[in-house]
Chains A and B, each alone.
Chain A
Amino acid sequence: MKLKSKGLLAVISAAAVLVSGGAVVTTSASAASSACAGVGNYAKQAGKTVEIFNSVIGLENSRYQAALLPFEDCTGITINWNGTNEFESQLGVRVQGGTAPDIAMIPQPGLLAKMVDTGKVVKAPAQTLANVNKYWSAGWKGYGTVNGVFYAAPNSANNKSLVWYSPKQFKKNGYTVPTTWTQMMALSDKMAAKKQIAWCGGIGSGTATGWPATDWLEEIVLRTQGAKVYADWIAHKVKFSDPQIVAAFNQVASWMKNPKYVGNVSAIATTTFQNAGMGIPTGKCNMLQQASFYAAQYPKTVTVSPTGDVWAYYLPGINPAVKTPVEGGGEFFAAFNSNAATQEVQNYLSSPQWAIQRIKSAGPSGGWLSANNGVPASTYTNALDALSAKYLSDKKSTFVFDGSDAMPAAVGAGSMWTELTNWFTGKSTADVTAAIDASWPTN
């Protein structure tokens, strides 16, 4: 095990050198057939290049490139793993402008549906479909399906239902991790009584400002009303102005818009989500509701562990009728052509072998997990990932996909962001819900 991880580190650092040299990572096609050992059965496609357009940048980007190396060695396909932080707008421009990538890694079902509407997305090949049928739940398959046709296999999954806190600070103050919503609020009151800021908050994110607030609202809708109402809400059968949703708004207000817990409410709108949780290790504020990927925001000097500077606990449920509610997100691989090389890549990316490669390439720092049932739980060496995976793969849990990502872009990437931002700066709940309902596309 030790030897293996060392070899893996060498691969990662080699990839890092290549990336930092500004060159696209390429590998020779002269790999031995044994290279396919950990990958699966694939035909030689020497000399072919497949571009995967995505929104992953920085360290995560080089981890993806490292994880793809064995497949490239095996098949001779060069994968151009092309990450940009302007993904959403650039994908639209490229598809409409006729320079669509071979494959796009789309993080929102809503955007996937928009892309399918352009007529440029091709349906998934038979092998990919078979893999998804075998290894994923019907729910996950459904997120990659538009109008009854299956297009895109899921990639990673993240667990949004977490609360970040500092085990060290909790120990110092004698706090215990809450397991019910009532306990959590009692703990918040306790912190407030000590003149501490209980909840950190920040929804600033440039042009996407407001998205963390959509997660807060979604968590509450799921926890109070259950998966059925949640699904109807995404489909706009239940409106934002519906009493059930307004009640959820009010509950968020008593939590994240409560000056007793958060201090200055309107400052949440201008604090970036990246900075929001930076005060946790020093106790400037105590808790932050954010997804599993938030771990990557902390600098190396902060230890992420159950006894360290920061760690996360599961955001408790509210309504006992809703069993273990979990909200998550993920990405989907959609193809824009049906070339043999493209399909081979799609097939590979839907296999458990890929997920295992990718988990290993992150090493002990983790931060990547999959809802693929073919991945043994023992693959996760990172404790936080193991925690998240436990909730994601738990058959008894009530899992839903990030609601705003599944709504039409005009709402999920538009009015819901801006209106919730307005809500935090003082606009009334009635005005906010009316404005979002009015922005729902009519056709």
Chain B
Amino acid sequence: MNQVSFWSSNLPKIEQTLGAIAIFFAILGAIFYIAGKVNGRASRPIATFIFLGPAVLLLFVGLVVPAVKTILFSFKDASSIKFIGIKNYQWIIDNPEMHKVIWNTLLWILITPFATTALGLLLAIMLNRMKRESLPKSLLFMPMAISFVGASIIWQFVYNYAPEGQPQTGLLSAIARTLGFTPPNWILNQPLNTFLLMIIFIWVETGFAMVILSAAIKGVPDDIMEASALDGATGWRLFKGITFPMVRPTFIVVFATMVVTSLKLFDIVRTVTGGNFGTSVISNEMYSQIFVRFDTGRGSALAVILFVLVTPILIYNIRNLRRERTIS
């Protein structure tokens, strides 16, 4: 009975999934075949349309329209019915709690991308010198494979705090006690707690930075390294003169990805402190406003502030990209 109900409820899902993949490729194959028959003038625009069309449509519907709606909503009231001008922004400006949230967000953008990318680069360089790099590399990358729900459970066993006289189940508290001083209640301790949350982020994302930068370092042609080494370039000078300039584009890509991730990320804050104890960030506050307090207006205004905060980094990146594209 149990077996029967198991298959009858799960088999359709598997069929649906495999069916959808098959249909997707069948349609794609048919379009490619038919469009491939077209010759002459029309062939180029048709190819552009077919290659680019699906992506543009999906992006328009899934991201552009919501982004525009968000900007509109940020000038409307809680249930998005009437326009209330800049009141939502006024609320953010007047509210000391929100100042703290914006300040925390700035700390996240300033610290975590730099920490993850720099540590990732350091590890990538050192791994490059090792004979057996695959095991440490895999272990360092492992946190990337763990969901934030999982990560919050894992770090509970590090940051957990028990008052004096009770058994200590948090690793950090136990270490502090062994070293002879009384551990604080880590998660309550401001502003230390924000940095403790950042450590979780760094723990998760450094593997990503390391793996990509490591691939980039391996891409530096051997003969260049060799030539400069023969010229007497050593250690730091070799790194500064040759290695870093060669991996700089990758470094920037990773850095930019980390900035965006650190901004949008709300899972760590949400699962570990729920935004309490002065650790909230804009993305968490935005989610609370929209989905817990049902104030779409304020939530949207916070989202717009988030856009504005990333814009400088975005412009810098696009400038870099443009330079690259004109070279190639």
Q: Do A and B come from one complex?
A: yes
Using a CB–CB cutoff of 8 Å, the interface residues on chain A facing chain B are 17-18, 20-24, 88-89, 92-93, 114, 117-118, 205-210, 263-264, 266-267, 269-270, 284, 409-410, 413-414, 418, 421-422, 425, 435, 438, 441, 443
Q: Are A209 and B276 in contact (CB under 8 A)?
A: yes
A208/B291 contact (C-beta < 8 A), A18-B5, A284-B166 known: no
From A22, A118, A270, give the contact of B188 (CB < 8 A): A270
A21 in contact with B2 (CB, 8 Å): yes
User: Contact between A269 and B77 (Cβ–Cβ < 8 Å)?
Assistant: no
- The verdict on A269 contacting B2 (CB below 8 Å), with A89-B291, A441-B78 known, is no
Chain B residues near A438: list those with CB within 8 A: 95
**In the complex, are the beta carbons of B294 and A409 less than 8 A apart?**
yes
Partner of A22, one of B9, B163, B294: B9
Question: Are B161 and A270 interface neighbours, CB within 8 A?
Answer: yes
Q: Which residues of B contact A425 (CB under 8 A)?
A: 188, 277
Further contacts, 11 of them, CB under 8 A, given A264-B163, A409-B292, A425-B277? A17-B2, A18-B5, A21-B6, A118-B79, A207-B292, A269-B188, A284-B166, A413-B293, A414-B292, A414-B293, A421-B276
Distance in angstroms from B302 CB to nearest chain A CB is 14
How far is A17 from B270 in the complex, measured between Cα atoms in Å? 34
Q: Which residue of B lies closest to A442 (CB)?
A: B87
**Closest residue to B1 on the A side, CB-wise?**
A17
Q: Which residues of B contact A270 (CB under 8 A)?
A: 161, 185, 187-188
Chain B residues in the interface with A (C-beta under 8 A): 1-2, 5-6, 8-10, 77-79, 95, 97, 161, 163-164, 166, 185, 187-188, 270-271, 273-277, 288, 290-295
> In the bound complex, do residue B277 and residue A409 qualify as a contact, i.e. CB atoms below 8 Å apart?
no
Q: Which of the residues B5, B271, B293 comes within 8 Å of A410, measured between beta carbons?
A: B293
Q: Say which residue of A409, A421, A443 sits within 8 Å of B77 (CB atoms).
A: A443
Task: Give me 8 A-to-B residue pairs in the complex whose CB atoms sit less than 8 angstroms apart, sorted by A's number.
Answer: A22-B5, A23-B9, A89-B292, A205-B274, A207-B292, A267-B163, A269-B276, A413-B293
Partner of A266 from the list B185, B270, B276, B293 (CB cut-off 8 Å) is B185
Residues of A within 8 A of B9 (CB): 21-24
B95: nearest residue on chain A (CB-CB)? A438
Of the candidates B6, B187, B274, B295, the one having the most CB atoms from chain A within 10 angstroms of its own CB is B274
In the complex, A24→B5 CA distance in Å? 10
Given known pairs A114-B294, A264-B164, A418-B276, the reply for A23 and B270 (CB within 8 Å) is: no
Flag if A413 contacts B77 (CB, 8 Å): no
Hey, which chain A residues are within 8 Å of B95, CB to CB?
A: 438
Most interface-central of B185, B270, B288, B292 (chain A CB within 10 A):
B292
Which residue of chain B has the shortest Cβ distance to A210 in the bound complex? Answer: B276
Chain A's nearest CB lies how many Å from the CB of B96? 8
Flag if B5 contacts A21 (CB, 8 Å): yes
By a CB distance below 8 angstroms, the chain A residues around B97 are 435
8 pairs of A and B residues whose beta carbons are closest in the complex:
A89-B291, A207-B274, A264-B163, A23-B5, A410-B293, A21-B5, A23-B9, A21-B2
Contacts of B271 in A (CB 8 A): 206
Task: Tell me whether A421 and B291 are in contact (CB under 8 A).
Answer: no
B5 to A92, Cβ gap below 8 A?
A: no
The reply to whether A93 and B295 form a contact with Cβ atoms under 8 Å apart is no
Residues of B near A22 (CB, < 8 A) are 5-6, 9-10
> In whole angstroms, how far apart are the Cα atoms of A414 and B6 in the complex?
41
Q: Name the residue on A nearest B9 (C-beta).
A: A23
Which residues of A sit under 8 angstroms from B2, Cβ to Cβ? 17, 20-21
Expressed in whole angstroms, the minimum distance between the Cβ of B32 and any Cβ of chain A is 35
Q: CB distance B274 to A206 under 8 Å?
A: yes
Chain A positions within 8 Å of B275 at CB level? 207, 418
Question: A269, B277: Cβ atoms under 8 Å?
Answer: yes
- By a CB distance below 8 angstroms, the chain B residues around A435 are 97
Closest CB of chain B to A294's CB: distance in Å? 21
Q: How far is the CA of A422 from the CA of B190 in the complex (A)?
A: 12
Q: Are B6 and A92 in contact (CB under 8 A)?
A: no
Cβ contacts under 8 Å, A93 to chain B: 291
Cα(A435)–Cα(B95), bound, Å: 9
Q: Which of B164, B276, B291 contacts A92 (CB 8 A)?
A: B291
Interfacial chain A residues near B79, Cβ < 8 Å: 117-118
B148 to chain A minimum Cβ distance, whole angstroms, is: 13
